[in-house]
Structure 1
Amino acid sequence: MSPEDGTPTAPGPSDDANVRRRRGARLALSGRLQTFAGSTLMLAGVGIGSAAGNVSQGDPARPGLWIALLSAVVCGALGVPLFHRGRRARVHGDRLRSATIDSFETLARQRYVLYLRPFDLDAQTAELPTEPPSRWWASDFHLSRKTHEEQMMRWFAGLGPSIAVGRPGEPLPLTGARRGYLGDGEWKEVVGALIARAHVVLLAVGPKPGTVWEFTEALRTTEPGRLVLLVCHRPEPYERFRHMVAGEYERRARTEPGPWPAPPRLPDYPALRHPGRRSWDYGLKGVITFDPDWKATFTRFDPTQPLVPITLIINGIQRRGMRPVRARLAELPARSRATG
């Protein structure tokens, strides 16, 4: 959120906000209906194909077998694109009807979860998952209807509304955390105050100067238990982030008033247990949490653990990893409003 990342500016809607929201509501509803219809057709195709195989008992001369198989293929050919089109329509509709934060000052007495990230991560987290857990077309049915950012924010639901600073120049806010926008030159002052008052700070790591500054600011003004680092990158960007943090922390500790305690050591990026095994990767690849002495723990969501990439097993890995994180965050006391 620094000038290096792009200076935030308020977007200017081209049409009336109420009209846009009504259009978004209609589009979101249409998207959900298309997704449901596509899912139904895919399941019908699987059912018809399975029933045809059972009835024919492998005999291609059985009457109706080829008609049933053709029907199954048609159901799949119609259902898959309808399903994916509905997912995209739902997301765009929700973006059209998203309300923004007029002023971050209104949050001064509210409890909220602050989501910080390098702006270039938005292109990745705004996407819907596209890789199904297995290779056949019916497995598309298991793909999430939520974007990667929506899925990340759901892990922290119940702790307070998720808020974020919007990317400069974006025509519509993204789904997930609710966006507000900043003017030129004010980002450090406003973001610093947001960090100091947040009930929980979620920071998606990345090798950007603004993100590195936000991390060092959180170390200075936030209790260890309130800071969660989100790792959405592979090891190389994470390693660059660690290197940049060390230099920025040393610079700020030398030139700015403290207190500046010893910085925490960020853990190494955990290796996959079975790197040669086929995996279904996560948008959120892991989280880093801190104990009261700023000792860091990297919880990696390893998609190579299950032998069979079944959706319930894969999602269970992430769910088990997040359970202790959510439990600790749920026990946090309300933050003193004298802070920051």
Structure 2
Amino acid sequence: MSAPRSPAAHSGVATRQARPPADVEQSPRRGRWYDTLGWVAITLGGAGFGFAAQDDADTTSTMPTTWIWVASVVLTLAGAWAVLRGRRHLMPVLDSLRGLPGDERIVLFLREFKDDPAFHRSIGTRFLWLRAIFTGQPLTAADLHTEEQQIATAVASFGRMVALGNPSDSLPPLGVERAYAADATWRGEVLAALGRAELVVLAAGSSRNLAWEVERIIERGVPTRLVLTVGHDREKYERFRWALGGFFPRGLPEYPKPDLRQRVLKSYSVRAVIWFDEDWTPHGKVLAGWVPVLDFARRTQRTVRRALKTVFVRAGLPARVTPALPRPATVPAGIALILAIWLVPVLVLTILFRFLEIVGAMTIGSDSIAGSAGIGFTFVLGALVLLGAVTLPWMWRVWRGGPLAVGMARIWGVSFTVAIAVFLLTPLDKEAVAHPSSETGGSITHSSHSDSSGYSDGDSSNDPFGDPFGDDFDDDSTEPTVPDGWPETLPLLGLTVLLSSLPLGATTLLMRREVRDWVDSRL
């Protein structure tokens, strides 16, 4: 086995001036606004996708479908940007890795700073356009989780993942919690965390600083608590293996060969993981899910956890951590509202038809009423069973904090509100709108009195015997009248507001910050 190269020999990094800690400027108030407005935009965009898809299926519709699609995409992308930006303002920053609570279990994440952009991207937004066009599936909280967050969640059984931050950060990236240190103090920070870490996750690289960290890890002598992540750059891994492989007593395996499925459905930053036995024997595993197209947004999290199954078993730890945040009270309240809107009207109709059927059967001469009520009862009962089969599993997933189920519930509240407003406020008789008359409530009407001979009073041009100055001539016959329709529409507007408040109330409850944080904690 070749001897390890010295850090200065292989790094190619020129000597530079010492850097101070990062100057991070966060605004929690701005972060909360960004996060809230972003989720509002994502919800409206999801509702727009639904309306556009429905309009495409309706060949008689005259709605501008293209513009609805465009507006929905813009809202979704702008909302995703706002959520990600807002969460960076809200991301906790550690004062120091030395000052962490002594009884807290931690995972130390080591990597080259130049790899941060790949770790801070979210795989769920990669195919956002295609997914929106072909499936209509909305953007969820899982789609916005970065690769680094997914890795931290996958190994959460070992403890909270922490890292040193890039001194050039103006805002902490979305991922693990960071402490920022100057060039003169960062090594002491790493040693303090390394001495107590339950697990070390090291992203393969070949920089000078990473070489120093690898040496300290080997000196620690705990191979079973080390995991290497291998990226998609084969040459980069080979440089790492050539430069630093000699530090490992039994070397490092060759670059893994992924199959076609793993090439297409890949993460941004991790292709494989490597773990070690007690004698430093390495084992590599390419990340691959059983059905990788399902729950694609969390593919890295699930596949890393599955690939490290041996590490979890060996440490006597569960692969999944129970979420610590309790379920907010607004979640069952929102579920109750949605179930009431869907099931209560149908349940009332079911009971009513059953009552009419029983009364009709007990009343002499009411066989036809009983038969009609029986048919109605059967139909409505079937509708109730069908609605229950759809809504109950859906609400169960909302109860469990499923990101897609919660997102669909928010979008449904907006869509259902718009549907109610359109149904109640749009005239049902389109012919009446196109040809207003006095009988259909048109805005302008003309009075006309026709006799049996087909001549109209006051029209001397068609009636040869008519007298325009006779007693029957009515000067007001052609004066337009504009009936006042506002008193009639006020109850309808009130009913619209009342019915719309229920689904919008459910959306508002499920959009609250405590619900969003709870859903994130269960990812």
TM-score by length of 2: 0.50
Larger radius of gyration: 2
1:131 aligns with 2:126: yes
Q: Can you list the C-alpha shifts for 1:192-231, whole angstroms capped at 9, x where unaligned?
A: 3432321111111111122122123212214122111122
RMSD: 3.6
1:9 corresponds to which of 5, 17, 20 = 20
Paired residue for 2:215? 216
1:120 CA drift (Å): 1.5
Q: 1:204 to 1:66 in 2, by over 3 A?
A: same
Please state whether the residue corresponding to 1:182 is helix, strand or coil: coil
Please state whether the residue corresponding to 1:287 is helix, strand or coil: strand
Q: Residue type matched to 1:66 in 2?
A: T
Higher helix share: 2
Paired residue for 1:256? none
Distance 1:53 1:123 in 2: 38
Paired residue for 1:252? none
1:149 CA drift (Å): 2.0
Runs of 4+ in 1 over 6 A off after TM superposition: none
Paired residue for 2:197? 198
Q: 1:326 to 1:36 in 2, by over 3 A?
A: farther
Paired residue for 1:120? 114
Q: 1:239 to 1:275 in 2, by over 3 A?
A: farther
2:42 corresponds to which of 39, 43, 47 = 39
Distance 2:244 2:211 in 1: 6
Q: Is the 8 A contact 1:42 1:79 kept in 2?
A: yes
Q: Is the 8 A contact 2:226 2:276 kept in 1?
A: yes
Q: 1:189 to 1:13 in 2, by over 3 A?
A: closer
1:258-273 matches, within 5 Å, as 263-273=249-259
Q: 1:268 to 1:165 in 2, by over 3 A?
A: same
Q: 1:131 to 1:276 in 2, by over 3 A?
A: same
Q: Can you list the C-alpha shifts for 1:109-146, whole angstroms capped at 9, x where unaligned?
A: 64211111112222332344441267254567267212
1:244 CA drift (Å): 0.6
Please state whether the residue corresponding to 1:144 is helix, strand or coil: helix
Paired residue for 2:295? 312
Q: Is the 8 A contact 1:117 1:206 kept in 2?
A: yes
1:80 CA drift (Å): 2.6
1:323 corresponds to which of 306, 313, 316 = 306
Paired residue for 2:268? 282
Paired residue for 2:79? 83
Paired residue for 1:153? 152
Q: 1:114 to 1:268 in 2, by over 3 A?
A: same
Paired residue for 1:332? 315
Q: 1:113 to 1:321 in 2, by over 3 A?
A: closer
Stretches of structure 1 lacking an aligned partner (at least 5 in a row): 15-19, 57-61, 250-261, 335-340
Q: Residue type matched to 2:308 in 1?
A: V
Distance 1:165 1:116 in 2: 8
Distance 2:263 2:160 in 1: 38
Q: Can you list the C-alpha shifts for 1:87-127, whole angstroms capped at 9, x where unaligned?
A: 332233224xx232246155566421111111222233234
- Larger RCO (CA within 8 A; separation ≥ 6): 1
Q: Is the 8 A contact 1:9 1:169 kept in 2?
A: no
Distance 1:81 1:134 in 2: 9
1:100 aligns with 2:94: yes
Percent of aligned positions with the same letter in both sequences? Answer: 24
1:245 CA drift (Å): 0.5
Paired residue for 1:17? none
Distance 2:215 2:236 in 1: 17
Paired residue for 2:325? none
Please state whether the residue corresponding to 1:66 is helix, strand or coil: coil
Distance 1:102 1:273 in 2: 42
Distance 2:271 2:96 in 1: 32
Please state whether the residue corresponding to 1:203 is helix, strand or coil: strand
1:311 CA drift (Å): 4.8
Please state whether the residue corresponding to 1:201 is helix, strand or coil: strand
Q: Is the 8 A contact 2:30 2:89 kept in 1?
A: yes
